[in-house]
Amino acid sequence: MRSLFHEELETLSDELVELSRLSARALERATRALLGADLELAEQVISEDEQIDALRRDLDNRAIDAIARQQPVATDLRQLVTTLRMSADLERCGDLARHVAKLARLRYPVCAVSGELTDVFAQMSEHAQAMCLRSGEIVSAQDASGAAELQQQDDTMDRLHREVFRILLEPEWDGGTQAAIDATLLSRYYERFADHAVSVAIRVVYLVTGVWMDEQEAASRDHLGGGGVPRAGI
């Protein structure tokens, strides 16, 4: 029975990895749709989000069934509960990729992002994808040490997030208010995507070590003092 149970846990872990791959892929495609004003690709990303949602539902049902059938306690139970939380994080990454695609669709045939911002969003997308894929590897390997690395990568995301605001607030900015609104929302989507990847990794640390790694610090990443709005313009 134990052995079957641990096989089940492994299947769930594989599905989390698959979720991380699908969400990273969705962000890659959404960003391509955004920066290339590609309506067809945007539509694909939007409709394919249902696959991510379905995989997450399947994963959650399996995890809940495992709790009901195996009645695990202690570490095994925590692992299943944590799986439910990680699936929520990774599914939310997919939603955020869909948001990027929806903005691309909304502005088509105009490109929502232009000028200096193009390169910043390309970098945000690459970093966020890499972080999401890495979070899957960390889950798969139960690699508690990987979380610190992911938090460092999140500092890069924060820097890029601030860079977006720096560009918008330059006296030379002539993109207008609509483009500033779009860039603000987009930057927030990419930043939150990365936050969820960090969150997955921190949950692995908890599972492996039983200690919350800087939970407070992680929560404070989604704030306005550091990565949020720049102090310029006060």
- Does residue 187 come out as left (phi exceeding 0), alpha (psi in the -120 to 50 range) or beta? alpha
Contact between 139 and 16 under an 8 Å Cβ cutoff? The reply is: yes
Between 1 and 74, name the residue whose CB sits nearer to its own copies.
74
Given 123, 149, 173, 214, the residue binding its own copies (CB under 8 A)? 173
Residue 165 binds its own copies (CB under 8 A) = yes
Contact between 202 and 213 under an 8 Å Cβ cutoff? The reply is: yes
- The contact mask relative to its own copies for 36-55 (x = CB under 8 A, - = no) is -----------------x--
Q: What are the residues whose beta carbons fall under 8 Å from the beta carbon of 113, sequence distance 6 or more?
A: 34, 35, 121, 179, 182, 183, 186
Segment near its own copies (CB under 8 A); pick from 77-85, 121-129, 141-149, 198-206: 77-85
Between 14 and 222, name the residue whose CB sits nearer to its own copies.
222
Q: How far apart (Å, rounded) are the C-alpha atoms in residues 25 and 18?
A: 10
Given 39, 122, 141, 180, the residue binding its own copies (CB under 8 A)? 180
Note if the bond before 72 is cis, omega within 30 degrees.
Answer: no
Q: How far apart (Å, rounded) are the C-alpha atoms in residues 187 and 127?
A: 13
Given 47, 178, 211, 217, the residue binding its own copies (CB under 8 A)? 178
Site for its own copies in 108-137 (CB under 8 A): 110
Residue 181 binds its own copies (CB under 8 A) = yes
Picking from 146, 178, 159, the residue whose alpha carbon sits closest to that of residue 230 is 159
Picking from 185, 179, 190, the residue whose alpha carbon sits closest to that of residue 157 is 190
Residue 222 binds its own copies (CB under 8 A) = yes
Residue 233 binds its own copies (CB under 8 A) = yes
Residues interacting with its own copies, by CB under 8 A?
Answer: 53, 64, 67-68, 71-74, 77-78, 81, 84-85, 88, 95, 98-99, 102-103, 106-107, 110, 165, 168-169, 173, 176-178, 180-182, 184-185, 188, 219, 222-225, 228-229, 231-234
